Structure 1
């Protein structure tokens, strides 16, 4: 099978290529070449699909979401989801995964919930997960007693250290989520909260997780909580609002991945009453984070696309496009922003290393109708192709 595509983005950050022909045999990309050259060597007996109106790119990763929650502003729905049982939550999770898939997302990393519902869904409802979708789940996050995080996790048991809790957990988690700060204030701009764990505690916890082959994602905002997480050897800093240049430099040096989730504050600024001071503070928070992303890019920090989908106004799937738009506003090219959602996000989730569109890799990609300069808003038009499937099943919505 040959596919003539209007634009090809390979996922490495390289500029898009125009008018390419992709040859697929037995589910593998065997050749990629300019359409004019391909015509010279074309086999007239071999079918060529005309996707000249489409831009083709690898599937995307949302490296931070909460599948148990919806981005809805309906207070009744949000309140119910805060305490719903698995039977109710599983319907919401199914819808969230379907919406993510409809926006070109092929993998999500869940940041935890109070009941471990996303992890249970992954293990018990695997046949219901959209074809080609990978779900990585933390189960229930860890937090300090009496501190923020009850919605997404629990503290270690009385007398149990954080490291001991990680060593002794039996849930089949894919990674460990630790909460090491509070929330960002919508009243006092730039207010920072104390860390939940000491460097000694967090370093031991990270070592315990790594000994089990598990990566560690740490919720942290503010200079001290982020500094502790980075020095402890965490794999990714989640949010990182108001962490400052010194932490960004240290993250670049250590290879720590940053998941900024800037779309959350933009959503708050949009969803809150426009005359409310909280809306103005949310916008200031967003602009500060945008400046940090720009600085992080300049310093060489590895940035992954994560949305915190499930937060107010942050909708699963759709928010990935919004976060990509934020990265381009911070100075990334669209190809560079997409690499954050493909290469960096995929590495963070330990996805196979053959995700880019290149010769020898599996023929799995998405196509969106329109040119790259209309990304990311056209992600909602995405259709997926999987060359390993039977011909009648290769094209997935």
Structure 2
């Protein structure tokens, strides 16, 4: 039987959206949190071997490990077009090294779970089946979409494939029999960096999309949907998808529908922040990117007002969006949109955990796995203090110390 021990941080953010707690005593045995109480009057760093040890974390904040709900592990955040072209055509061995490096970057920034949104060659799925081991460094939990699905002649070839000839997308999913953890569907185009607010048509009509969702449900999987604009987002939600990725220019009515249907939104606002920075040599593109960002922040603000479940996801692997680091940047953008820090942490932890189907991480409450970060200073220093992580605990064991 493992020996219990306690940690006593000055502040604790539990990932539920509740205000930070001060002077907490958290009891851990094995991989599990068995108690959370007040630490007032508790002797810390005691040397009495007959009593459980108490780790004094005065001056530190403890919070759950972070989750990035939208990444592309096969691509880096470089904005060098030649490097990006090489990454697209790279073979599995080279891509495998990239994936491993990107997972290490996530770990370094306190991100211990990710959801991969697809790659055209399915290398991330191959990596999952041959190399991936969350019990070993960098200890990342993950969900993999494999190759995404898009309509022939429409955007999406960078991350996926089209339905089989003379087959619907639902039929194609069954016939291909891919062992992905979820299904990624592309149901709109990209955001224009030249024409503000330009919308594209849906890639799949409602009946076909409903059949797709029904089929995927029968397989026990969730559906994540790339969708921008009013009609693509509306159709995707009416079909029963689990999450909307991006959702630029979807509008107020879709946000209300999203709240009513309990669909999770992953805004990926940091993509436009990145474009506004990498496009500085082209003022028109930079200006449109900034307007796109400003509009998305307005939508994020509305989402909070309507009670939409929003998850932190970055689209890491897009130009200028670096794995790991981008989570901190997206958290800052949520704060710019009016979210208090404890709710931002919730979006980056428990909401993501629920979306990805991880039931034992994302919250620091009794009965959950002891997976958490220790960062210097009070909660008011977040998210910047995530650049200076002091310790990382996974399943009750300290796996990193500065």
Partner of 1:192: 199
Partner Cα separation in structure 2 for residue 369 and residue 223 of structure 1: 42
State the TM-score, normalized to the length of structure 1.
0.95
Matched, 1:103 2:93: no
How far is the alpha carbon of 1:355 from its aligned partner?
3.6
Partner Cα separation in structure 1 for residue 148 and residue 61 of structure 2: 38
Partner of 1:386: 394
Matched, 1:87 2:93: yes
Partner Cα separation in structure 1 for residue 395 and residue 263 of structure 2: 34
How far is the alpha carbon of 1:44 from its aligned partner?
4.3
Give unmatched runs, 5+ long, in structure 1. none
Partner of 2:76: 70
Partner Cα separation in structure 2 for residue 12 and residue 358 of structure 1: 9
Partner of 2:40: 36
Partner of 2:295: 288
How far is the alpha carbon of 1:380 from its aligned partner?
2.5
Matched, 1:370 2:374: no
Q: Secondary structure at the match of 1:126?
A: coil
Matched, 1:143 2:150: yes
Partner Cα separation in structure 1 for residue 298 and residue 362 of structure 2: 30
Partner Cα separation in structure 2 for residue 122 and residue 55 of structure 1: 33
Q: 2:347 aligns with which of 340, 343, 352?
A: 340
How far is the alpha carbon of 1:266 from its aligned partner?
0.6
Check 1:386–1:201 CA distance in 2 against 1; reply closer, same or farther (3 A cut): same
Q: 2:210 aligns with which of 185, 203, 206?
A: 203
Deviates more, 1:335-344 or 1:273-282: 273-282
Partner Cα separation in structure 2 for residue 224 and residue 205 of structure 1: 18
Would the aligned equivalents of 2:74 and 2:98 in 1 still touch at CA under 8 Å?
yes
Would the aligned equivalents of 1:97 and 1:130 in 2 still touch at CA under 8 Å?
no
Match runs of 1:56-67 below 5 Å = 56-67=62-73
Would the aligned equivalents of 1:387 and 1:394 in 2 still touch at CA under 8 Å?
no
Partner Cα separation in structure 1 for residue 29 and residue 183 of structure 2: 39
Q: Runs in 1 of length 4+ with deviation above 6 angstroms?
A: none
Partner Cα separation in structure 2 for residue 71 and residue 269 of structure 1: 14
Partner Cα separation in structure 2 for residue 27 and residue 306 of structure 1: 27
RMSD: 1.8
Would the aligned equivalents of 1:261 and 1:307 in 2 still touch at CA under 8 Å?
yes
Partner of 2:30: 26
Q: 2:7 aligns with which of 3, 9, 14?
A: 3
Would the aligned equivalents of 1:63 and 1:306 in 2 still touch at CA under 8 Å?
yes
Q: Secondary structure at the match of 2:22?
A: strand
Q: Secondary structure at the match of 2:364?
A: coil
Q: Report the number of matched residues.
A: 393
State the TM-score, normalized to the length of structure 2.
0.94
Matched, 1:278 2:285: yes
Give unmatched runs, 5+ long, in structure 2. none
Would the aligned equivalents of 1:258 and 1:301 in 2 still touch at CA under 8 Å?
yes
